[in-house]
Amino acid sequence: MNLEEKLQVLSDAFGVAGFEDEVREVIRQMAAPYVDRCEVDPLGNLICTRGEGEAVMVDAHMDEVGFMVRWIEKDGFLRLTALGGWDDRILLGHRLVLKTRSGAKLQGVIGATPPHILSEAERNKVVPLDDLFVDVGARNREEAEALGVRIGDPATIHYPFVRLREGYVTGKAFDDRAGCLVALEALRLLQGVKLPYKLVVNFAVFEEGGLRGAKAAAYRIAPKLALALEGTIGADMPGVPEAKQPVRLGQGPAITLADRSITVNPRLARFLEKVAEQKGIRYQYKLPAYGSTDAGAIHTERGGIVAGVVSVPCRYIHSPVSTLWLSDLEATVHLVTEFLNQAGEFLATL
């Protein structure tokens, strides 16, 4: 598979925060040829290891924003609660995929009251998630339950991965399946390269609910150095001034200096810059201090871990129609691979 095909497989896989089983198995199969072993910890993190020695940790979270069924109405409609951060403005009128306890996937739609029977004030109001409902074609609670629906079932808005034009694609969960693919490609490209340290790649659960998986994995792995990989906030679009655009598409990988969860050690940030400049890789900075990443949880474990963040620019994250340029994804793979090639040099200074 080429890079686009791999991203499609990852994007289309189901992996709502706390319910990452399907995407974890996809990633395990993709990673297995390039590592010595993969194991799943008690939280569900997939931890893949190659080599021996001092640990360098790479982290990319598998989970995506989604929902959980919180109630089944007597007339068969479902009510949802959020798993991760959704913008209520985008939820109305979307198709949804719900996964039952048996593993079956049901289609549904997030219903909308027809505008013809709304007041002007109601038509201009953002409908909060608590007021929305899902229609799965059940005429009553018993029919919904007969379809396999139970309180606690996960769901997400899912539109299939599509190429919009050559090199420019759209799909769900680029935050952070793009980061997962960067990690997988780095493992592939480093196959056969002897590294002076143990490389441990953590594909984390439940980033979208408090960075929980990475925190446990960092404690288990106990690295001296870590790098979190993300798909981050591309906001180069109409109505957003340049000073408020965290990253821009087409400008290469984004190096984080500070966000809401971490201020990156300046020595590590300079090292990433040096690697990029040595290899002629175009890069940008993620403007401080938007968002948070698994690095925020990793760097406070085990008495402190030097951690940084490199991200793939993606527009419309936390929606079912994220977009990215494959050239940015390729450049991020290049930077992360070269960083890992040289990480022993930085590790020796810690």
In a domain, residue 20? The reply is yes
For residues 319 and 202, state if they share a domain. yes
The 3-state DSSP class for residue 230 equals strand
Task: Give the structural domain span for 184.
Answer: 3-64+172-347
For residues 108 and 245, state if they share a domain. no
Mean pLDDT of 194-204: 97
For residues 73 and 213, state if they share a domain. no
Confidence label for 224 from pLDDT (cuts 50, 70 and 90): very high
Between residues 123 and 83, which one has the greater pLDDT? 83
For residues 50 and 114, state if they share a domain. no
% of the chain residues with pLDDT over 70:
100
Q: Is the pLDDT of residue 209 over 90?
A: no
For residues 102 and 225, state if they share a domain. no
For residues 181 and 298, state if they share a domain. yes
Q: Is the pLDDT of residue 127 over 90?
A: no
99 - beta bridge partners? 105
For residues 55 and 81, state if they share a domain. no
In a domain, residue 203? The reply is yes
Q: Is the pLDDT of residue 121 over 80?
A: no
- What confidence score (pLDDT) does residue 124 get? 82
- What confidence score (pLDDT) does residue 287 get? 95
Please state whether beta strands 225-234 and 55-61 pair in parallel, antiparallel, or not at all (unpaired): parallel
CATH number at residue 289: 3.40.630.10
- What confidence score (pLDDT) does residue 116 get? 77
Q: Exposed (0-12), middle (13-18) or buried (19+): which is 240, by Cβ within 10 Å? A: exposed
- Single out the residue in 134, 157, 180 at which a domain terminates: 157
- Give 161-170 contacts, CB < 8 A, sequence gap 24+: 161/7, 161/8, 161/11, 161/12, 163/4, 164/323, 167/325, 167/326, 167/327, 168/323, 168/324, 168/325, 168/326, 169/4, 169/7, 169/8, 169/323, 169/324, 169/326, 170/321, 170/322, 170/323
Q: Share the mean pLDDT of the chain.
A: 96
Q: How many domains does the chain have?
A: 2
Confidence label for 105 from pLDDT (cuts 50, 70 and 90): very high
Contact (CB, 8 A) for 229 and 305: no
In a domain, residue 242? The reply is yes
- Single out the residue in 126, 157, 188 at which a domain terminates: 157
Confidence label for 97 from pLDDT (cuts 50, 70 and 90): very high
- What confidence score (pLDDT) does residue 28 get? 98
For residues 184 and 331, state if they share a domain. yes
* CA atoms of 174 and 143, how far apart (whole Å): 34
In a domain, residue 283? The reply is yes
In a domain, residue 164? The reply is no
- Catalytic positions are 207
For residues 57 and 93, state if they share a domain. no
Q: Is the pLDDT of residue 118 over 80?
A: no
* CA atoms of 236 and 314, how far apart (whole Å): 10
- What confidence score (pLDDT) does residue 349 get? 94
For residues 180 and 97, state if they share a domain. no
Confidence label for 115 from pLDDT (cuts 50, 70 and 90): confident
Confidence label for 231 from pLDDT (cuts 50, 70 and 90): very high
For residues 47 and 79, state if they share a domain. no
pLDDT tens readout for residues 280-292 = 999 999 999 899 9
In a domain, residue 255? The reply is yes
- Single out the residue in 103, 129, 157 at which a domain terminates: 157
Mean pLDDT of 113-126: 79
For residues 113 and 30, state if they share a domain. no
Confidence label for 6 from pLDDT (cuts 50, 70 and 90): very high
The 3-state DSSP class for residue 32 equals helix
In a domain, residue 167? The reply is no
- What confidence score (pLDDT) does residue 112 get? 77
- Of 118-132, 151-165, 179-193, 218-232, give the lowest mean pLDDT range: 118-132
CATH number at residue 146: 2.40.30.40
Please state whether beta strands 306-315 and 225-234 pair in parallel, antiparallel, or not at all (unpaired): parallel
Buried b (16+ CB within 10 A) or exposed e, 271-290: bbeebbeeeebebbebbeeb
Q: Is the pLDDT of residue 328 over 80?
A: yes
% of the chain residues with pLDDT over 90:
92
In a domain, residue 58? The reply is yes
